Structure 1
Amino acid sequence: METWETARLVKDLREQTAGLARAAAAGDPEATVPTCPEWRLSDLVAHIGQALRWAADLVRKAAPLPIPDPREVDPGAPDGWERWLTDGAEELIEAVRDAGEHAEVWSVAGMVPPAFWLRRMLNDITVHHYDAAAATGAPFAISAELAADVITEGMELLSAPAAEDFKPELAELRGSGECLAIRPHDAEGWLISRTPDGPRWRRASGDGDVTVRGPAAELMLVLSGRVPAREVTGDRALLDHWLARTRF
């Protein structure tokens, strides 16, 4: 039986995947993506289409698989991008439904329910939807609720026990209690403490040694390294140090 949360993830995954495809198809496939300058627009599309199918395979096999290289995939012509990407989303959705909510599958955070990969791909695609829009001038808007979940999931991944194995620079986030506050205007905030054992966080509103404010969607883009922070008080160097090591 599909839960309410899974149904929401499915709905948002379909919407964000189609939105990214439409935004990307409005541009030149060879154009550089300004927020991911190592990629052309076609590379961005290839990454998403390939990642959706990779995640579906992870769910089906419940075991780790090599991370694919998007440059090894041809996404086809732009007029076919929406169909190719949405087919990939449907493949993942079907794999999760076939696995069942009580199954366990592999992830960087350990063994997790299959719906983990719906959320992971949704949140990755949401940020890359912005990348496509930034490259082509297409509109981009998301709800505060979705933006907040992208941020929350990022915090969960950064503080996972095995996170440093996959992203060694996270070891540099160990500290002696320095506090960063993320304070959206339209959602509950996050307080992050840099402890000797690594970063710890909780949902709460308050100020830290550095505090960054703005709409949740903007803060999502700040924390993913897409736009600079506009409203910052306190120790800006502490925020810059965090951002330099946590882009996701």
Structure 2
Amino acid sequence: MTLLTHERYCDEIVLRTEALRAAVRGADLDANVPTCPAWTLRDLAVHVGGAQRWAGEIVRTRATEALEDEQVPSFTPDGDDPAVLDDWLADGAARTAETLRKAGPGLKAWSWYRQDQSAGFWARRMAIETVVHQADAALTAKVPYEMAADLAADTIDEWLQFVAGAQAEGDSEAVELRGAGRSIHLHATDVPDAEWLIEFGEDGFTWRRAHGKATVALRGPLTDLMLVFNRRLAPDSDRVELLGDAELLDFWLARSSFG
């Protein structure tokens, strides 16, 4: 696994937010988000902007514990005007990215991921959070969704890392991802060497970037693999090819929703 640079993550927070804003702008903000059914499009946008501000404030204050929402300046937009929402999203992304740039990746700050308590964690997390919710916005607004290959791959890497961490800490669903002799292979058809092999053992699972024969294989464009893995695209979509034991992939998807 190779991380992108801290500066790149900071840049992507702004760029992905711009793309999300473009999807939201002019769309029905009261429309239900199919991939987050409890939310409207407005709820989705407010969640993204609030999460970015929350992370930025944690880093700015070098917090040693989670912050309450009311501790975060402008945590929500002022009113329901779509133009206000758009400006609020743009301002929050810019401020968060600038805070993270100034901090540098090594600055210590609280995070919910025990293995990494740093500004670098939050830069990556907020970039990828926005990547995934950009897809939610695009799907809801029925506009195209595109993603750079390295960022799409990093999204898969991060998710696998988090699920493995959740399993190690005894998450009730993640601990079920075990059972020797079974495996999942993800194979991007449009990007060289973008492949993942997830292997189940008696004590849990391991993963690596590799090619290999597996119990079930999912093949397709890298962005579509990422969307399936983040449960934004159904594994039986005609945009991907599913080979082997489809129930094993369903088993994984159903138990990798920790937190």
* Structure 2: distance between partners of 1:206 and 1:220: 19
* Structure 2: distance between partners of 1:227 and 1:9: 24
Matched, 1:80 2:76: no
Alignment root-mean-square deviation, CA: 2.4
Map 1:185-196; keep pairs closer than 5 Å.
185=189, 186-187=191-192, 188-196=194-202
Map 1:1-248; keep pairs closer than 5 Å.
5-59=5-59, 60-65=61-66, 73-74=76-77, 76-110=80-114, 111-160=116-165, 164=169, 167-185=171-189, 186-187=191-192, 188-229=194-235, 230-247=240-257
Shift of 1:91: 2.4
Give the TM-score normalised by structure 2.
Answer: 0.85
Task: Map Cα deviations across residues 131-160 of structure 1 (whole Å, 9 max, x no partner).
Answer: 111111122111222111111111111112
Report if aligned partners of 2:66, 2:110 keep a CA contact under 8 Å in 1: no
Q: Judging changes above 3 Å, is the alpha-carbon distance between structure 1 residues 17 and 218 closer, same or farther for their aligned structure 2 residues?
A: same
Using the aligned pairs only, state the percent identity.
38
Work out the number of aligned pairs and report it.
Answer: 243
Determine helix, strand or coil for the equivalent of 2:65: coil
**What letter is aligned with 1:182?**
L
Shift of 1:94: 2.7
Report if aligned partners of 1:184, 1:216 keep a CA contact under 8 Å in 2: yes
Find runs of 4+ consecutive structure 1 residues off by over 3 angstroms: 66-69, 72-76, 161-165
Shift of 1:235: 1.0
Structure 2: stretches of 5+ with no match in the other structure: none
* Structure 1: distance between partners of 2:86 and 2:123: 18
Give the TM-score normalised by structure 1.
Answer: 0.88
Report if aligned partners of 2:110, 2:117 keep a CA contact under 8 Å in 1: yes
Structure 1: stretches of 5+ with no match in the other structure: none
Q: Judging changes above 3 Å, is the alpha-carbon distance between structure 1 residues 204 and 97 closer, same or farther for their aligned structure 2 residues?
A: same
Shift of 1:78: 1.8
Q: Judging changes above 3 Å, is the alpha-carbon distance between structure 1 residues 26 and 67 closer, same or farther for their aligned structure 2 residues?
A: farther
